Amino acid sequence: MPDLEIDALVFDVLGTLVDEPGGVRAGIRALDPSLDDAGVEQLLSLWQRHVDREQRRIVAGARPYVTSDLLDLEAARLVADAVGVGDPTAVAALAESGRRLAPWPDTVAGLARLAERFPLIGLSNAGRAALLELNAHAGLRWHQALSAEDARTYKPDPAVYQLAITVSGRPPERLLMVAAHAWDLRAAQDLGLRTAYVARPVGEPPASSDRFDLHADGLADLADRLDDGQGHVRRGGRS
């Protein structure tokens, strides 16, 4: 593998840095405390399927762009209808559970460590307002946080990754995309970004055909690999 000259790290947020399913689970339990674990998981799946399907429709041009806030509200209404809750205040509270997401145990310290060496760019499908609140709730610190709302589409649309390329002012091959979702890395790879898969309890593991530049067990492992040069990664210069 040739040396990788990396000037900045681009991070997926939902699932990679914060426990997105866990936050929605907590919102569902608050909506109906009588639900057992199986019932919560069924409703979580209903939420996730709706958001995923509608984002894909938007990327495909089958639906005009709407923010992640609206998609979360739609999903919350579906979940509330399924358990017979019609109170608009309760539905709104459930929708906002997508903003109250806990960071993974290594996230905050890992970002701080990586920020000592690289500019960090967050790149999320969350809308601008949701991303601001999510970052504050989870204690995420960025040099720049970018929302797919600025491209009026969703990942894996190339326009979203282009936001990070444009903001960084660097060629795509000097950026390292970090994500727990193989589909996210594949899309970034298509634009020329370098890629690092970080294992999380959620997300999509790489397929046997994937060829990502780095694989890490978490952010501490990723930082170790970047610190010691494992994987032939080094900080880029002024070339």
Residue 13 has pLDDT above 60, yes or no: yes
- pLDDT, residue 4, reads 77
Q: How far is CA 28 from the centre of its chain?
A: 21
Q: How do residues 55-102 score in pLDDT, each as one tens digit?
A: 999 999 999 999 999 999 999 999 999 999 999 999 999 999 989 999
What is the Cα–Cα distance from 40 to 55, expressed in whole angstroms? 23
- What is the chain written as a DSSP string? ---EEE-EEEE--BTTTB-HHHHHHHHHHHH-TT--HHHHHHHHHHHHHHHHHHHHHHHTTSS----HHHHHHHHHHHHHHHHT---HHHHHHHHGGGT--PBPTTHHHHHHHHHTTS-EEEEESS-HHHHHHHHHHHT---SEEEEGGGGTS-TTSHHHHHHHHHHHTS-GGGEEEEESBHHHHHHHHHTT-EEEEE--SSSBPPPTT---SEEESSHHHHHHHHHHTTTSEEE----
Domain 20-98 annotated CATH 1.10.3470: no
Q: How do residues 170-216 score in pLDDT, each as one tens digit?
A: 999 999 999 999 999 999 999 999 999 999 999 999 999 999 999 99
- pLDDT, residue 230, reads 44
| Class of CATH domain 4-19+101-235 | alpha beta
Give the start-to-end residue ranges of the domains of the chain.
4-19+101-235, 20-98
- Give the pTM: 0.92
Q: How do residues 135-179 score in pLDDT, each as one tens digit?
A: 999 999 899 999 999 999 999 999 999 999 999 999 999 999 999
